[in-house]
Amino acid sequence: MPKTFSKTNPARELVFGDLWEFDPAPETADPKLKKRYDLFINGSFVPPRAEQYFATINPAHETKIADIALADASDVDVACKAAQKAFTGVWGKMPGKERGKYLYRIARLLQDHAREFAIAETLDGGKPIKESRDFDIPMAAAHFFYHAGWADKLEHLAPGRQVAPHGVVGQVIPWNFPLLMLAWKIAPALAAGNCVVLKPAETTSITALKFGEICQEAGLPNGVVNIVSGATETGAAVIQHPLTMKVAFTGSTEVGKSIMRSLAGTDKKLTMELGGKAANIVFDDAPLDQAVEGIVNGIFFNQGHVCCAGSRLLVQESIADEVLAKLKRRIAVLRVGDPMDKNTDLGAINSREQLTKITELVKSGVMEGAEKYDTGCKLPAKGFFFRPTIFTNVSMSHRIAREEIFGPVLGILTFRTPEEAVEKANNTPYGLSAGVWTDKGSRILKMSTLLKAGVVWANTYNKFDPTSPFGGYKESGFGREGGKQGLLEYLKVA
């Protein structure tokens, strides 16, 4: 029998045309938005003391959605004091099982309002409705559900030791998974008995402030959760406030480092979930179609606005052409466009600023000699959009291979041996995640051991679960979120 499978013949191609086009399938439910969002402090929505607001826009249409309160240091001070009062007066004293019941309520209420939240998330952030609907919101609820059950079982986290909450926790979260990151931060903090002052990202405040409504609906004691929207200075005020005993940050490595510096003179406990430049490694014996699916999921999920995105594809040399061909065929059927359309696979880039950054890095890739490919698909006339893009001929020194792009841009490199793959994968200051694709079990375990990354996805990619600790090695940060390991970060061990 002739060996027919080594190379595909480029002359024979499949036609992914317009024979059967999909009609628009917009999600039309009402997200129940307000025109103006005030700060959520001490159980109420209050205007910022300086009466400053900023507009939040829909990145898919560049239209204004609502005015968002801009908290300054004095607002943050009020929030921190409210949190402290709630901690000493109510929450810190409450039996764990009672705290847990509040978290269960929140989980349930998030499920009740899931569709509203999904639409709000998509409007404000640009991610496809199918992702906010099927991933962000259910996963956020799942985090509350998981942590609810821990609230009365904390003594199991550090055997033989006493654990106690820190008090007030200051949290600053990014714009890529607004509500989900909030859940990753608030659920364990509350389960452990802390009170929270959280600052959402500037471009995506709505679901965080809507979450304030959930807290009210749940009857959560005043001050246990406080949401202060605003800009960088607002976040700095939260982090610096003398009452915040613990600081949890998710964002870029650059900002993470500046936070570490700014808190060097304090005793605040930190957890940092920072950037990544993950390698997704495909061996020649991998189940290739699933690997391709994992590659696509790894870099195009949420427009590549994912810190653990598999932005560097390392393919074994012998199958590089075949994987590339499969990848091109796969992305030919990705649908880029209106995030609110249920069939959209890639929505809008979160902000003009981010679009500029992606565009600039892609330009650098071309300038440095990498070969660019994109699907050439039509993009909406308005809004911030970027085509799924693949670079071949990438070398380790290229900026696109070293810097976090945080967009739908994949760089492909090749390797010949497992050792070379590990070397290339680890040759980065980052160490958040990695992917390995191979049919050989022992190789998976070896690779998983050698890869310097906090999460290794073997024959899968971009999977998350409340029970599963997530966090980085090296400059991708420290501390974990999720699982018993993540929860312990919110407790003092004596």
Partner 1 sequence: MTRLLITKTPKCYVGGAFIRSESGRVAPLHDASGAFFANIPQCTRKDLRNAVEAAAKAGPGWAKRSAFNRGQILYRLAEMMEARSGELTEAVALGGTSKAEASREVAASIERVVHYAGWTDKYEQILGSVNPVASTHFNFTVTEPMGIIGVIAPDDSPLLALVSLILPAITSGNCVVALASSTQPYPSILLGEMLATSDLPGGVVNLLTGLRSEMLPTFATHEHLRALSVAVNAADRKTLKLGAAESVKRVNLLKAEEPIDWFSDKRQGVEEIRALIEFKTTWHPVGA
Partner 2 sequence: MTTMPAATAPTSLRRLFDEIGTVDQVGIEERVAKFTTRSLKKKSKVFGLRLAVSMVDLTTLEGKDTPGKVASLCQKALRPHDIGDIPPTAAVCVYPAMVKHAKKHVVGTQVKIASVATAFPSGQAPLKTRLAEVHAAVNDGADEIDMVINRGAFLSGEFGRMQDEIAAVVEACGQSTLKVILEVSELETYDNIRAASFLAMRVIRPGDFIKTSTGKTSSNATLGNNQVMLEAIRDHFLATGIPIAMKPAGGIRTAKQALHFLIAVKETLGDDWLNNRRYRFGASALLNDLVRQLEKERTGAYQAPWNFSDATEGY
Give the residues lining the site for partner 2 (CB under 8 A).
1, 3-5, 8-9, 12-25, 130, 134, 285-291, 293-294, 325, 333, 342-343, 439, 459-460
Least distance between partner 2 and beta carbon 285 (Å): 8
In the bound state with partner 1, the residue whose beta carbon lies nearer, of 2 and 159, is: 159
Give the helix/strand (H/E) hosting 44: strand 44-46
In the bound state with partner 1, the residue whose beta carbon lies nearer, of 384 and 473, is: 473
Residue 379 binds partner 1, judged by CB under 8 A: no
Residue 429 binds partner 1, judged by CB under 8 A: yes
Least distance between partner 1 and beta carbon 87 (Å): 24
In the bound state with partner 2, the residue whose beta carbon lies nearer, of 342 and 402, is: 342
Residue 17 binds partner 1, judged by CB under 8 A: no
- Out of partner 1, partner 2, none, what residue 50 binds, judged by CB under 5 to 8 A for its kind, is none
User: How many residues in the shown chain lie near partner 1 by CB under 8 A?
Assistant: 47
In the bound state with partner 2, the residue whose beta carbon lies nearer, of 34 and 443, is: 443
What distance in Å separates the CA atoms of residue 168 and residue 260, rounded to the nearest whole number? 18
In the bound state with partner 1, the residue whose beta carbon lies nearer, of 202 and 475, is: 475
Question: Which parts of 89-128 interact with partner 1 (CB under 8 A)?
Answer: none
Interacting residues of 102 by C-beta distance below 8 A, sequence separation 6+ = 148, 190, 218, 219, 220, 224
In the bound state with partner 1, the residue whose beta carbon lies nearer, of 367 and 493, is: 493
DSSP calls for 64-133? EEEEEE---HHHHHHHHHHHHHHIIIIITTS-HHHHHHHHHHHHHHHHHTHHHHHHHHHHHH---HHHII
Least distance between partner 2 and beta carbon 342 (Å): 4
DSSP calls for 404-467? ---SSEEEEEEESSHHHHHHHHH-SS--SEEEEE-S-HHHHHHHHHHS--SEEEES--S---TT
What distance in Å separates the CA atoms of residue 354 and residue 370, rounded to the nearest whole number? 21
Residue 457 binds partner 1, judged by CB under 8 A: yes
Residue 158 binds partner 1, judged by CB under 8 A: yes
In the bound state with partner 1, the residue whose beta carbon lies nearer, of 10 and 159, is: 159
Active-site positions read 273, 307
Residue 426 binds partner 1, judged by CB under 8 A: no
Residue 325 binds partner 1, judged by CB under 8 A: no
Helices (H), 219-319: 232-240, 253-262, 288-300
Buried b (16+ CB within 10 A) or exposed e, 339-348: bbbeebbbbb
- DSSP letter at 134? I
CA 255 to chain centre: 16
92: left (phi over 0), alpha (psi -120 to 50) or beta: alpha
Q: Where are the beta strands (DSSP E) in 283-368?
A: 312-316
- Out of partner 2, partner 1, none, what residue 51 binds, judged by CB under 5 to 8 A for its kind, is none
- Out of partner 2, partner 1, none, what residue 46 binds, judged by CB under 5 to 8 A for its kind, is none
- Out of partner 1, partner 2, none, what residue 381 binds, judged by CB under 5 to 8 A for its kind, is none
> Nearest-5° angle of CA 375, CA 380, CA 385?
65
Q: Which of 348, 346, 355, 380 is nearest to 130 (CA)?
A: 346
Least distance between partner 2 and beta carbon 485 (Å): 24
Report CA torsion sign: 371, 372, 375, 376: negative
What distance in Å separates the CA atoms of residue 143 and residue 150, rounded to the nearest whole number? 11
Least distance between partner 1 and beta carbon 123 (Å): 27
Least distance between partner 1 and beta carbon 430 (Å): 10
Name residue, tokens 């938005």: 33
Least distance between partner 1 and beta carbon 463 (Å): 5
Residue 476 binds partner 1, judged by CB under 8 A: yes
The residues that touch partner 1, with contacts defined as CB under 8 A, are: 142, 158-161, 253, 256-258, 260-261, 263-265, 272, 274, 429, 444, 448-449, 453-460, 463, 465, 467-471, 473-478, 480, 483-485, 493-494
